[in-house]
A = this chain, B = another copy of it.
Amino acid sequence: MTVNAICYDDKPQIRKRLKKSFGKVCSAKMIKRKLPIVGWLPKYNVNTLVQDMIAGITVGLTAIPQGLAYAIIAGLSPEYGLYSGLVAGVVYTFFGSCKDITVGPTAIMAAIVAKFVAYSSDFAILASFLAGIVELLMGVLNFGFLVEFISGPVISGFTTAAVLQIASSQLKGLFGLRGSAGTYFAESAVSFVRNIKTTTLWDPILGFSTIVILLLLKKLGRGCSITGGVSEKIRCYVSLSRNAIVVVIGMLVAFIVKRTTGDEPVVLIGDIVKGLPTPKLPPFSTTVGNDSYIFGDMLQVFGPSSFVLPFVAILEAVAVAKSFADGVQVDANQEMIALGLCNIVSSFVSSMPTTGSFTKSALNRASGVKTPAGGIFNCLLIVLSVTLLASTFYYVPKASLAGLIITAMMSMVDYEIFGRLWVHSKRELCVLIVTIIMCLGVGLEYGIVTGILLDALFILYSKARPTVYVYSQKEPRADLVVITLNYNLSYCAAEHVRKSILVAAEGISSDSLIIIDGTNLRKIDSTIASTLATVANDVNNKICPCLFLNFDEKLSKMCTALKPQLADKFFCCKKLSDVADMYFKGV
């Protein structure tokens, strides 16, 4: 029997972490790890190229309509959605560590920036640049662990609220309403009810048809794989391209109706700017109406979002990376670096903030992508569409895009978590619900922060109420009252431990022995040491002898440093009954 023990230490090793961070950046070996393309490029061949190309084009067919749609969610002109996909894929090809991941605009990113785009579209581009800087820094300094402090229920509550908010903002497009869509859930809902009379006949018909067709095409692809026979392959590709298909159908219908009747019965996205954006510095100042905003003013407008936006971007990207990791470790820090660079470079071509997209990454994998180079072909398709197809996009009906977004959103909500938490943990259900309410009522960024703080408070409270077992045992020489302390005790548990010992000592006779059993005690801090020493000393002086059993040397030294007179009260023995004997021998 061979036993090799590795112990993942639980000390908060901030110093080590910082050292490690700087060490990692500097070593030559690590440079290779920070540029994953070095790993796969030498093995690249025609076969991989073809597969990456097919996958890249399939993803592009979804990325184009989604890009237009997400720009609309953010309140931007549709072409910004396309600009956002222009270079991210190329940058990710060099720095990304996960072949499936597709970086691009996402609905949640769009929903968060919408509030700032209400000022000026420059805010979206600056947000991309700033988010990129924060992500890059966090990745370089190994601060990715911060994301670990967001629990499942908080992520789920945030996502649910974002989906509700985005879906409600799409009701306008789905029903072809006039008036504003609103950036908050309540605003959108009220605006929907107020403007429902302005609905036309054809917008909802087209919108709901889009949803039905998407669901049917999704069902068509179930169970078939691109490695199957010809008919299976066709079914599979049709299903994978469903987002492009519905939008093309909508465009064709709108185009034919316009050509034959000269009429526009559904709302179209209209003219979009043709051609590639001119590369330029992100806007560090802007004008809103007659007011000019310098960099500091713009930062003030972002407020807490300056941190929440990159945080959510990292969260989405890491979550997507983990889903496609197949039991292999994800280098979260490398993903953050890649994501940061994608956002920084993209902001030079007028992009809104981007992150790892779940839909597009799933599509990428299903299309059989082999390396991150798939992103390059996706980008090429977008370049083509911006330069050649821009005028065609005039005919894209807003109702088709709304239907596409709502269908994508429906699959993002984890409906089962409500029932699961109701059964297993009402406390977590409460965190989930508070997060949703705060996200919808006050704003997505405040909601997620509230959820994180609430979770942290619950952890602190549970640390303050550790389990303390108390039992009594009759021995020939004395009655023993044993108080068992376990694991790690922190300062906030001091009062609880003190109370437990005093309750145990209440009303017992002076010839009893109180034994504080530290057999399973691993770690205490100075506050606990001081409490134990003080209370044991008080009990010794006023009630009965108070002994310490099996405290390890470090812990006993922490106590005796405070009350040296306790030094003869520490005992180590295997059987509880021996303690009384050892004590009375010593007296």
Contacts and interface: CB of A to CB of B under 8 A. Distances in A.
Contacts of A496: 8, 148
**Chain A interface residue number, banded:** 35 or more
A147 to B, nearest CB: 8
Contacts of A465: 8-12
Given A10-B462, A530-B152, A5 B499 contact: no
A152 B461 CA distance: 18
Nearest to A488: B462
A3 B151 contact: no
Contacts of A201: none
Contacts of A140: none
B2 A472 contact: yes
A329 interface: yes
A265 interface: no
A43 interface: no
A525 interface: yes
Contacts of A538: 325-327
Contact of A424 (B1, B470, B561): B561
Contact of A492 (B151, B488, B539): B151
Contacts of A415: none
B471 A6 contact: yes
A587 interface: no
Interface in A503-557: 503, 505-506, 522, 525-527, 529-530, 535, 538-539, 541-543, 554, 557
Interface string A462-488: 111111111111100000000000111
A530 B472 CA distance: 40
Given A469-B7, A494-B148, A554-B424, A329 B459 contact: no
Interface string A321-332: 000011111001
Contacts of A557: 424
Q: Most chain-B Cβ atoms within 10 A of its Cβ — which of A6, A147, A496?
A: A6
28 contacts: A1-B473, A3-B471, A6-B469, A7-B468, A8-B470, A145-B464, A147-B495, A149-B464, A151-B525, A151-B527, A152-B525, A153-B526, A153-B527, A325-B538, A326-B538, A327-B502, A327-B538, A327-B541, A329-B499, A329-B503, A329-B506, A420-B561, A421-B526, A424-B526, A424-B557, A459-B459, A459-B463, A463-B463
Nearest to A465: B10
A326 B503 contact: no
Interface string A1-34: 1111111111110100000000000000000000
A8 B468 contact: yes
Nearest to A328: B502
A417 B527 CA distance: 11
A427 interface: yes
B152 A527 contact: yes
A145 B491 CA distance: 12
